Chain A
């Protein structure tokens, strides 16, 4: 158990709908990262938040957005869903997020499996 929790574990929805995925980081971790794992794209970084502020953006679609709340949990919002959004969405957390010599490790949650029908 990594200490990172994600809810829900599974989500089935229809095209055009909107869903929210939730992540709680490990106790004491300030950074949250979101990744998407799909069959055709592999594992891709979406976005990072550090202590409530957006820190870095990856291949995140405009239909997707995220935020990190004062209690450090994070939510990933996916809207106008398409069939191609079906994937496993991972959240990871680390103590910091600014890099440097400490090279903090990212710990991953169990993921939310999204199926868009």
Chain B
């Protein structure tokens, strides 16, 4: 079945550091890929998405590129801020069958000033 694997957390960085959170997936066909963010005490917010190979999703300085050859969708940001502290979830949605989202386990990110 479909699955998503994220890098183990927690991740702690200093402000203005470069961020990478790795995400790889297993799926049949060509799923859509998403990054959601969950700030403390809040629900899930869509951060960015990509629907086909080589697409780059971007939002709020974050970027991720859909890499079919490596089945990856790594999240990157060039200079993180304290306000980026949150839990980040990588997810996929198959274009066939049920339209459910399959999530990775989440990566907790803490940015220190």
Contacts and interface: CB of A to CB of B under 8 A. Distances in A.
Interface string B7-43: 0000000000000000000000000101010000011
Contact of A56 (B99, B104, B106): B99
A48 B45 contact: no
B43 A90 contact: yes
Contacts of B98: 45, 48, 55-56, 58
A79 B55 CA distance: 43
B81 interface: no
B105 interface: yes
Given A2-B43, A2-B45, A105-B49, A43 B99 contact: no
Interface of A: 2, 31, 33, 35, 42-45, 48, 55-56, 58, 90, 92, 94, 97-101, 103-111
26 contacts: A2-B43, A33-B99, A42-B106, A43-B101, A43-B106, A45-B101, A48-B98, A55-B99, A56-B98, A56-B99, A56-B100, A58-B100, A90-B43, A90-B44, A92-B44, A92-B101, A94-B99, A99-B95, A99-B96, A103-B49, A103-B51, A105-B34, A106-B101, A107-B46, A108-B46, A110-B42
